[in-house]
Every structure is written in structure tokens, then in C-alpha cells.
Amino acid sequence: MGETTDGPRPFRFGVVAPVRSDLATWREQVRRIADSGYSALLMPDVPGFQPAPGPTLATAAALAPLRVGTWVYASALRQPWSTAWEAHSLSVLTEGRFEMGVGLGRPGIETEQGLPRVSGAERLARMRETVAALRELDGAEAHTPVTMAVGGPRSRKLAAEVADAATFVLGPEDGRGEITARVGELRGSGLELAQHVAVVGDITAPFMAQPGLDTAALHAAGSLMALPDDPAAAIDELQRRREEIGFSYFVFGSVAADAMAPVVAELAGR
């Protein structure tokens, strides 16, 4: 949740860092992200554009002492037990540094891969079954943190029941007031509230938003999808989002990781 019994949750920050370069450059990027104070390195679940999340995250965890996670497994593409097995295996191999992000998956992602269409109800059921299988595999001695990507009321309700954190699926049309009300339903639930920031300045992160976004319009509208690239302004805005909405965990794209490093240095853990 946005607050604990001792006040607001401390800030933490993650980076979605797909392999979009040669491996030597990506390895150096992983180390730089860790050195900048980010909490977690995250991988999207986008078949055909990059290596699979599991082995890539295991590689990243061996390179640097930071947490790793999926952002997020698409339930439309994945069967619950095999997803849970992979997640549990990553928790074991990283000695507890893995966080499983899971969501419905964007519309049509499964048919693009030649798979049968999966209804919204089935996607939601798979998310529930995945978490249940993960808890069984973890047993009493372990607990893999689960972040659930949520949008509508059914996914928000499921997150409150079975997840450790929730991140909110936002579109350019979503206003601050609407999102504040939506997030407010989960304040006090015990969940860490996360926010996926696709745009920093004029930069849109690959795999975090649709291409062709009008970044100037997002900034003019005060969209939660965007942050200014000026560190002082970004710090003020993030503090406002924690105070007014409850977000404390913020995720950027790797293309903005260096620009946001002064922000992370100032706010992480506070």
C-alpha cells in the first residue's frame, strides 16, 4: 500500500531493460543500473523481439546484486503451472531476489504468436492459478513477491486477494483524477502500489507504451504516464504522486535510466 503503520512506504525504483544491443553493452547497462541504486531490473514478456525472460533474468542476477523480475508475464501466452515453476526456479537460483510480475497481456498478443484466442475471464483465471501454483511450489519456507498488472475492477480485486504489489495499466486518455480514485480502492489493502512510467521528457521506452505517443500532449495534460526529465521537477512530482495517490514503486525504461539516476539517488529508500 502507499502507507505503512510508520508512514509512507519508502521509494524504490525499477528499470525495464530488454536486450536491444550487443550483449557486452547490455551487461554494462545492467551493472550501471545496479550502481545507480535501482532496486530491480525487469524484463518484458514479448516473444520474438528479445531472449526469453527466464534465462535473461538469471544472467542479469549473476552480473549484479540487484533484484530481478518480469514486467510482466502475459497470462494470455502462458500456462499457470509452467509459469509458476519458472518463477519459483528463478527465486531459487537468485537466492530470493526474483519478483514475479504477471498480467493479462495486451489484446491480441496470443493470436500474433499463432495461439488460440484467450478470453479476458480465462486470462484472469490463469493469473489466479499461476499465483496459487507459485505459493505451493515456494512452500512454507519461501515467498516469491508477486506484482500484478491491473486495470479493471476484477483484476484489482484479484490483486488485493493474492498479490504483494499492484501496478496500474494506464493509457494516454486516463486522467489523474480517475487513476487516483482507482488506486484509492487499494490503499489500505497491504499492497505496494507501483507505477509504470513510459515517458521521460521526450523519450518513450520500448515495450512500455505504444509507439507514436504525443509526448508533449502527455506532459501538457499532466499524464501519469510521463515525467519531466529535469531531476528536480521529477523529484517533486514523484513525491506528489506518493502523497496524493499512494504510489511508491516507480518503473522506468532503460532508455531513461541514466537521466533518472539523480532522482533515484535522492529518493530511493526515503
First to last CA, the chain: 15
**What is the reported pLDDT for 1?**
44
For residue 3, the model assigns a pLDDT of: 59
Digit-coded pLDDT (tens) for 217-230: 999 999 999 999 99
Q: What is the pLDDT of residue 240?
A: 97
**How far is 68 from 129, CA to CA, in rounded Å?**
22
The whole-number pLDDT of residue 41 equals 98
For the chain, domain boundaries: 3-267
Which stretches of the chain drop beneath a pLDDT of 70?
1-6
Cα–Cα–Cα angle for 32, 90, 4, nearest 5°? Answer: 75
What CATH code is assigned to 3-267? 3.20.20.30
C-alpha cell at 111: 493470436
